[in-house]
Structures are given as structure tokens and as C-alpha cells.
Amino acid sequence: MDINQIPCPSGRYWRVKEGDTLYLIALQLGTTVTELRRLNPNVDPTNLRIGQQICLPVEQFCASKVFWEVAPGDTLYSIARATGTTVKKLLELNPNINTQNLQVGQAICLPE
């Protein structure tokens, strides 16, 4: 943790990699840039540094503890078909995802 960093309530951090932006981090984690900025008021969003730690929100609750990792070309429809569920159910379990912009590597909570 950076010495001047405000304590992180969730205890969860993202280590910035080359090419990361708050927008891309938020998309991958199913949160918002607004929430990341709220949790990281001392972070300059226009000047993220490789290796810098960003405080993350509390982890999304997933009752089944079963996740789908988004792969290139995945859509909610294709994930629903592959897992025997519906898009509606996936949206209920993942209310913060951007349905028009799923990110490779993003975790989608699946039903039990």
C-alpha cells in the first residue's frame, strides 16, 4: 500500500498494469469510475502509475460462488446458453455489469 493512501475499507486492491485506466478497471470489475474515485480520492485518474495500488469496492456477492470468465466474443446471451440459464437471471445476479461492453477476464456470477 502507498504510504499516503487512505485506508481501503474492503481490503481489496488492484495493482495497476500498463494500459490500465480507471474506466477499464471499473468495467472489468463490474463497478463504476465514480465508485473507484470515491474510494481513491488521492489518485490522479489521468496519471495512473504501473504498480500503483487502487482500492476496490467490497467484492460482489455471488451466492453460488460459481463464475464465468468472459472470453473474447462472449455475450450475455452466449453465456446464458452455455450455462443453461437466461439473460434475465444473469442480469439479476450481476446488476452492475455493462451489458454492451463485457471485458475479457471479467467475472460473471452464475446461478446455482
Stretch 73-95: mean pLDDT? 95
Measured CA to CA in angstroms, residue 25 lies from 18, 56, 112 at distances of 12, 9, 27
Measured CA to CA in angstroms, residue 39 lies from 1, 79, 83, 102 at distances of 14, 31, 34, 23
Q: Where are the beta strands (DSSP E) in the chain?
A: 13-15, 53-55, 67-69, 107-109
* All domains of the chain in start order, with CATH: 13-55 (3.10.350.10), 67-109 (3.10.350.10)
pLDDT at site 2? 47
pTM value? 0.56
pLDDT at site 5? 55
Provide the 3-class DSSP secondary structure of residue 91.
helix
> How do residues 42-71 score in pLDDT, each as one tens digit?
999 999 999 999 999 887 778 888 888 889
Q: What confidence category does residue 29 fall into, taking pLDDT thresholds of 50, 70 and 90?
A: confident
| Signed CA dihedral, 94, 45, 15, 59: sign only | negative
Alpha-carbon distance 15 to 48, whole Å? 10
Average pLDDT of the chain to the nearest whole number: 87
> How do residues 95-106 score in pLDDT, each as one tens digit?
878 888 887 778
